[in-house]
Amino acid sequence: MSTTGQVIKCRAAIAWEAGKPLSLEEIEVAPPKAHEVRIKILYSGVCHTDDYTLSGSDPEGVFPSILGHEGGGIVESIGEGVTDVAVGDHVIPLYTAECRKCKFCLSGKTNLCQSVRATQGRGLMPDETTRFTCNGKPIYHYMGCSTFSEYTVVADVSVVRVDPKPSLQKLCLLGCGVTTGFGAATKTAKVTEGSTVAIFGMGCVGLSVAQGAAYNKASRIIAIDTNPGKEKIAREFGATDFINPKDHNKPIQQVLVELTDGGLDYTFDCTGNVEVMRAALEACHKGWGESIIIGVAAAGKEIATRPFQLVTGRVWRGSAFGGVKGKTDMPKLVQEYVDGKLKVDEFVTHTFDLQEINKAFEAMHSGTCIRAVLTLQSE
Ligand code: NAD
Ligand code: ZN
Ligand code: ZN
């Protein structure tokens, strides 16, 4: 029976308020309006950014909302004017939209499309309303995705069609973590062949940076993590060295500068800790070393270093979604995965059903989890 044009009742995990566990509810999902797409979500990864928002530290966090931004699903119906995707397509929602029309998209300098940014940041669809209700109460969207729901509605600029062959259980990780790290190395930093790289934090994002640096043929990839349990997997993703800062009584930047004859060509923060960001910048080689900030710091935190560090040629940059343009670049990443050149399966260490979502959040804090993937509906 077709659900096109109908309100769909389904299950979703609702974040009623900050700092509380998510709660499984029956919700109503309205049909897509013009330039909107309703997606049957099959799988969703759980990312630290979901946890960050749920914790209440995110200045943009709005409640009650449906979190989740690393999903994969199938288009159930489309609103008027949607041309990029069709019913039945396998898709990945994009928290960084790509409209190909705004000043940012046309600049050729950034992936930070602004077409839906203002409403997305307030948990709303572009027409300033929501498509979700629970017992008649409006529920806010999250990062333009809201993938912790069996059905979601996104703007047409916020979704990309992908090859239907690979399982979305793995492919959904391209919606955030894998793409963010791989893109930060290959697109933002453009790591060059033979260069040296240090990566702070070996979660999904840092491991993806390692993978991207290896892909671009860096000669030395130093993984740094305070959890010694991360060494094995870091090496599997291309790290040539592993350092636990706790094993040294000198600041880690000094350890790295001494180890690499003056510092690294590229460093990456994948922790969100502002002290680590400083160490990453100061571990760069004088004259040309570049440090990329990927981690999301807690609200109100600021970075600091002596300006002389920059005067003498070190560069500080940031990267959101790996500098990747969802519609233009994602299909190429999927192809790399299909061709066996991009690891994705290896990131999935835990799987849960939607009703176990709070266990997935607990797993994320366990130190052994790279990514927990939720199953929402069968394929
Ligand atoms: P994660 O928690 O799985 O990994 C973080 C790793 O850092 C862990 O292995 C931890 O042991 C290690 N760590 C913590 N403190 C450390 C320290 N002082 N020195 C060295 N290692 C340390 O997280 P993740 O999912 O990989 O995400 C990493 C960060 O990236 C988070 O802040 C997340 O919010 C952010 N993120 C940013 C973007 C973006 O577009 N910029 C996208 C996704 C995630
Ligand atoms: Zn994320
Ligand atoms: Zn745009």
pLDDT of res. 1: 73
Q: Which two structure tokens, joined as six digits, stand for 178? A: 């894998």
> What mean pLDDT do residues 345-374 have?
96
- pLDDT (0 to 100) of residue 60: 85
| Residue whose CB lies within 8 A of the most ligand 1 atoms, among 47, 95, 178, 270, for a mutation test | 270
Residue 275 near residue 297, CB atoms below 8 Å: no
Task: Dump pLDDT digits (tens) for 65-118.
Answer: 999 999 999 999 999 999 999 999 999 999 999 999 999 999 999 999 999 999
Q: Is the CB of 321 under 6 A from ligand 1?
A: yes
Say how far apart CA 24 and CA 28 lie, in whole Å: 13
Q: How many A from CA of 84 to the centre of ligand 3?
A: 15
Give the model's pLDDT for residue 57: 87
Distance CA 71, CA 68 (A): 7
Q: Which atom of ligand 1 is nearest to the CA of 319?
A: 41
Which tokens sit at 319?
């990267």
| End-to-end Cα distance, the chain | 17
Q: What is the mean pLDDT of residues 39-56?
A: 96
**Partners of 55 in beta bridges:** none
Report the catalytic residues.
47-49, 69-70, 99, 102, 105, 113, 117, 176, 371
Neighbouring C-alpha atoms within 13 Å toward the C-beta of 323: 20
Calculate mean pLDDT across residues 20-44. Answer: 98
> What's residue 59's pLDDT?
85
Q: What pLDDT is stored for residue 99 in this prediction?
A: 98
Burial class (CB in 10 A: 0-12, 13-18, 19+), 102: middle
CA distance 180 to 133: 31
| pLDDT tens readout for residues 283-322 | 999 999 999 999 999 889 999 999 999 999 999 999 999 9
> How would residue 379 be classed by pLDDT, with cut points 50, 70 and 90?
confident
Residues 168-223: pLDDT tens digits? 999 999 999 999 999 999 999 999 999 999 999 999 999 999 999 999 999 999 99
Distance in angstroms (rounded) separating the CA atoms of residues 309 and 281:
8
CA–CA dist 340, 12 (Å, integer): 34
Tell me if 166 sits within 8 A of 338, measured CB to CB. Answer: yes
Please give the angle made by the CA atoms of 335, 339 and 343, to the nearest 5 degrees. Answer: 90
Residue type present at position 344: V
Per-residue pLDDT tens for 218-263?
A: 999 999 999 999 999 999 999 999 999 999 999 999 999 999 999 9
Which numbered atom of ligand 1 lies nearest the CA of 275?
18
**What is the Cα–Cα distance from 279 to 171, expressed in whole angstroms?**
33
Ion ligand 3 contact residues with beta carbon within 5 A: 99, 102, 105, 113, 115
The pTM of this model reads: 0.96
For residue 207, give the ligand 1 atom closest to its CA: 26
- In terms of Cβ atoms closer than 10 Å to its own Cβ (0-12, 13-18, 19+), residue 19 is exposed
Ligand 1 binding pocket includes 294 (Cβ within 6 Å): yes
